[in-house]
Amino acid sequence: MRTVGDVVDVHKSGEDADPWVLALALHIKAEGKAVCIVTEDIVDRQSISIATASDRLVIAHCRVRTFLSTME
């Protein structure tokens, strides 16, 4: 949390998935597997975007269009 604690939006009334997605990505990466978070959340607002958090944690991320273009 020290590195990306500001990914949590304290003003959000519901559950926030970003910390869970990041935790799972870190777990998968620790197992030596390739991981890439697919997201359109790239703009930092009250909390940092999942893209910024991914950069800080050295986890790959890409936009949906990029991901889908690899599926062809």
Give me the sign of the Cα torsion angle 54, 56, 59, 65: positive
Domain ranges for the chain, please list them.
5-69
Residue 19 tokens read as: 């910390």
Q: What pTM was estimated for this model as a whole?
A: 0.83
Give the span between the Cα atoms of 39 and 31, in whole angstroms: 22
What is the rounded average pLDDT for all residues in the chain?
90
What is the residue-level pLDDT of the chain in tens, covering all 72 positions? 677 877 877 777 788 888 899 999 999 999 999 999 999 999 988 889 999 999 999 999 999 999 999 987
User: Residue 68 has what pLDDT?
Assistant: 95
